[in-house]
Amino acid sequence: MHLRIVQRRLASIQNNLIRTYKYQSKVFGFNAQLKTIGNTNEIEKILRDYNQARQANPHAALLIDAYRKHGHRLAKIDPLGINVNTSIPELDQNLFTVNFHIENEHDARSLFGLSTEQSIPKTKDDWIRQLNEIYCQSISLECEYIENDIERLWIARRFEQLRTSPTISSDIQQRIAEQMRKCETFDQFLQAKFPTLKRYSGEGAEGMMAFFDLVFKQSVQLNIENVIVCMPHRGRNNLLVCLLNYPAATMFRKIKGKHEFPKDVKSTGDVLSHLYTSTDLTYDGKKLHVSLIPNPSHLEANNPVAVGKTRACQLSLKDGHYADTENVGRHGDKALCIQVHGDASFAGQGIIPETFQLSHLPNYSVGGSIHLVTNNQIGYTTPQHLARSSRYCTDFAKVVNCPVIHVNGQCPVEIAQATQLACEYRDLFRKDIVIDLVCFRKHGHNELDDPTFTQPSMYKKVQEYYKQEQNNNEELNKKIQTFRNTLEEQFSIADQYQPKAPHLQQQWSGMIQAKSTRTQWNTGLNENLLKYIGVKSVDVPEEFQVHTTIARSHVQKRQQRIEAGTGLDWSTAEALAFGSLLLQGFNIRISGQDVGRGTFSQRHGMLVNQKDDDVYIPLNGLDSKQGFLEICNSILSEEAVLGFDYGFSAHDPKNLVIWEAQFGDFFNGAQIIIDTYISGGELKFLTQSGIIMLLPHGMDGAGPEHSSCHIERFLQMTDSKEDGIDGDDINMQIVNPTTPAQYFHVLRRQMIRNFRKPLIVAGPKILLRHPECISSLKDMADGTRFLPVLSDNMSNTKLNPEKVKRLLFTSGKHYYTLNEERNKRKRDDIGIIRLEELCPFPVDEIREEIKKYKNIKEFIWCQEEHRNQGAWFFVKPRFENIIGIHLKYAGRDVLGTPAVAIGEVHQQECVQILKLAFD
């Protein structure tokens, strides 16, 4: 290979993460001056020597390549010995030249990863024997699909070096043995004390404990400060108690039916297999903070959440791209994400390829995750040949050129080698890597299941495995006995043990759990400060060439409106809210499909230089000590991206995280994240999140898709009361604001409060440029705030309350249609009240509004959505049960889809709604 080509490929890998930031200026935020992967001259020499050796020894190179590509298919990675190949055509010895050897020792070591102690094989048989020992035993490697020569060569040679190096130290072997035995002992203890418990044991997969212990130890050696772990049920309780300092007494209380949290916190808790912790471990005299995040029963849903939390941790630690110029490093220096999977879910859940697609993206990368697949070789009762169409459960990883190490889960030395290789690869290349830990379940899917119903042959092998004699040394037995005694002590105090609440600590220490009353917050600001933010929000360097249309319709118009202090549109209000929060030290992350420009070309938060595609974010240039605004145009994914952003929001209350759907109904692709984390995360796990979901909503004749954000679904998921007054402690807030100022206030309120709640915003589409949907700086001035209910006297129509006979209640952009119709008809006997906030339901504000009207004969709820949708079902019982008035309905009739797709019918429906409201 020519040197020029070598240098080009080397540059490609060196700039693996940097190149995606080259176009982003300092004001954009990311530090582009990151350290590269190592000694470039040395790496360049390795690749050059390798290619020269291939040319000089083509027959040997072919043999080595064959084993690197196909050796894993002969590997003995199944501890039960069921799925083992004895031969494959691609490694038939007859395919290779009978007699060959490599004359030059330097060439041999350039081609092949031999340790310094290892002698060079002489004959073809010697080479084949050596290659079989490396690639076809209890561990193997898949990497030949990796496109980059350096990565592929490095990991293959390093794997070969580890396999031909001396046996791992006795100290490491002792650590592995101890962790595997503790895992086994814990399961035996639970079986003895709670024989009917479904515990999803680690039996048969004890090797995962060796992996965790070794990867934590390696992390400390690499100066990593934080490790964020996600994992499903299996072996989770073992990890918590055996390695992560989780109080066994708390777990035993939970098994006995008691609460895992103190009585003075509002929570429902969650099942045993969803427990979590955050703790400090000590390795080699250094501390390592490890967080095992909560998991739902929806397998793999916690993976993007863990990646998002890791990214937020990197922001807090000023890691990599978030570092200042004085502390330049590589992205992922300080925080590591470990993702644990099951084999069937890894292959079957679409969230896995979605999350992998995030792994190399500039706004979502965490500098590589280490994946561990606990490969049970069965999904519940489904055998492998019915669980996937690919050879391995890990094959999705190949989409992003991710290497895979397959290892026999009952072979400690090989597990240590796999873990070391994974840590080294991730540290060097800052990319994901997968360890496929092939194991089995001693019992069925759970301990009360009989697996022989469906897998008799497999479980004959399992029973044979456990009949094998296992010898343990005396010193280890003493350690295990000590561990067993500790479990007995914890069991004896479980009933009296008082658990501690794990929330509101460290960065959350200034927060509280929301109260059952409702609070008001002054979210207004000085008008001069707002003007400064408004002007700076469209201020670009002199040499920066803005698109002519944007310069005219966005930059110039905003400058004019800010100067006048009136006519402020939706995007201006958003920019003012963002800028003010940044100046107060909060960080902001807005993520979703096309959020930089905005789906409706309304935001333009990031401007693109028409000369060279450079990107500039003006709001990152307000002040040297401000927070950081990250605008993230996401992949075309909802579930993984929303999960990522939820994880980001749950890490630190100083981060305002917004996920914007391209259209309101796009959230349904992320329903699992909403159901398992956003709506119930605090009640189940005490995990607060202030994430905002912006869902563009409106019946504008667009047909069944992209009209409705299904606000009725979110309302149904809240714990708002039908017969009582809501407080701040509801599980989710839901707003449908109708003015830019209201949007400004609700964004600011989300951050300045001393608690965090998810916020669902039924956002506008046509209101983004509606001539009546404007606000002034006075509406956002100091002393103003978000109003859950807007009075009719805030409209252009000034009514005499004494004349009003009919009172219309509505929510969202439908108000403008009603107000326009009232003005056309000159109906001064009809009042219109806007419910800007639906949850918590604003009982007091509604009562105050109704008091103004003494002669009302009819109360009507008017909505543009169909009767079985929208807010009707939600508001009706609350008006009747709490406020004490009977509402009539004016809106579309019931329908099985969100909207019709026939223009004439849509218009007829619009006319009919107005007839019902006014006639």
For 661-715, what is each residue's pLDDT tens digit?
A: 999 999 999 999 999 999 999 999 999 999 999 999 999 998 999 999 999 999 9
Contact partners, residue 736, CB within 8 Å, separation at least 6: 697, 711, 761, 762, 811, 812, 835, 836, 837, 838, 871
CA distances for 725 relative to 243, 547, 721, 844, 869, angstroms: 45, 51, 7, 9, 23
Q: What is the pLDDT of residue 652?
A: 97
Three-state DSSP class for 613? coil
Q: Find out if CATH 3.40.50.11610 is the number for domain 795-918.
A: yes
Burial of 501 (0-12, 13-18, 19+ CB in 10 A): middle
Q: Are strands 335-342 and 226-230 parallel, antiparallel or unpaired?
A: parallel
Q: What is the pLDDT of residue 538?
A: 96
For the chain, the helix, strand and coil percentages under 3-state DSSP, each to the nearest 5: 45, 15, 40
Please list the residues that pair with 379 across neighbouring strands: 382
- Measure the CA–CA gap between 577 and 534, rounded to whole angstroms: 10
Tokens coding 776:
């002034």
- Measure the CA–CA gap between 730 and 719, rounded to whole angstroms: 6
442: nearest Cα among 97, 126, 201: 201
Q: What is the pLDDT of residue 38?
A: 61
Output b/e per residue, 553-582; b: 16+ Cβ within 10 A.
ebbeebeebbeebeebbbbbbbbbbbbbbb
Tokens coding 909:
């429906």
Q: How many CB atoms lie within 10 A of CB 770?
A: 15
Q: Is the pTM of this model over 0.85?
A: yes
Domain with CATH 3.40.50.970 in the chain: 170-464+486-502
Angle of CA points 77, 80, 86, to nearest 5° = 55
Residue 300 · residue 346 · CB < 8 Å: yes
Determine the length of the chain.
Answer: 919
Residue 419 · residue 435 · CB < 8 Å: yes
775 phi-psi bin (left φ>0, alpha ψ -120 to 50, beta other): beta
Number of H helices, E strands in the chain: 30, 24
> CA Rg, the chain, in Å?
31
- Measure the CA–CA gap between 52 and 114, rounded to whole angstroms: 18
Three-state DSSP class for 893? coil
372: nearest Cα among 397, 394, 340, 410: 340
Q: Tell me the residue type at 661.
A: A
- Measure the CA–CA gap between 172 and 215, rounded to whole angstroms: 12
CA 463 to chain CA centroid, Å, is 39
CA distances for 132 relative to 17, 647, 651, angstroms: 36, 44, 47
Q: Tell me the residue type at 113.
A: G
- Measure the CA–CA gap between 601 and 607, rounded to whole angstroms: 12
Give the chain's end-to-end CA distance (angstroms, integer): 83
Q: What is the pLDDT of residue 488?
A: 97
Domain with CATH 3.40.50.11610 in the chain: 795-918
Residue 226 · residue 313 · CB < 8 Å: yes
Residue 678 · residue 296 · CB < 8 Å: no
Residue 639 · residue 304 · CB < 8 Å: yes
291 phi-psi bin (left φ>0, alpha ψ -120 to 50, beta other): beta
Q: How many CB atoms lie within 10 A of CB 192?
A: 10
CA 579 to chain CA centroid, Å, is 25
- Measure the CA–CA gap between 418 and 438, rounded to whole angstroms: 12
601, HSE (Cβ side, Cα atoms, 13 Å): 5
Q: What is the pLDDT of residue 84?
A: 81
Q: Where are the alpha helices (DSSP H) in 588-680?
A: 639-651, 671-673
Q: What is the pLDDT of residue 42?
A: 76
Q: Tell me the residue type at 388.
A: R
Q: Where are the alpha helices (DSSP H) in 16-122?
A: 40-56, 58-70, 105-111
Please list the residues that pair with 336 across neighbouring strands: 227
CATH of domain 527-697+736-769: 3.40.50.12470
The domain 170-464+486-502 is placed in CATH, from the list 3.50.50.60, 3.60.15.30, 3.90.550.10, 3.40.50.970, at 3.40.50.970
Domain with CATH 3.40.50.12470 in the chain: 527-697+736-769
Question: H or E element: which one contains 392?
Answer: none
Residue 292 · residue 219 · CB < 8 Å: no
Three-state DSSP class for 524? coil
Output the CA torsion sign for 282, 288, 292, 293: positive
Q: Tell me the residue type at 865.
A: E
DSSP string, 82-148: -S--S--GGG-GGGS-SS---S-HHHHHHHS---TTSPPP-SHHHHHHHHHHHHSSSEEEE-TT-S-
CA distances for 128 relative to 63, 92, 115, 138, angstroms: 8, 10, 17, 17
Spans of the chain, pLDDT less than 50:
1-29
Task: State pLDDT tens for residues 410-449.
Answer: 999 999 999 999 999 999 999 999 999 999 988 888 878 8
Helices 207-221 & 412-429, crossing angle to 10 degrees? 40
> Backbone phi, then psi, for 589, in 5-degree steps?
-130, 120
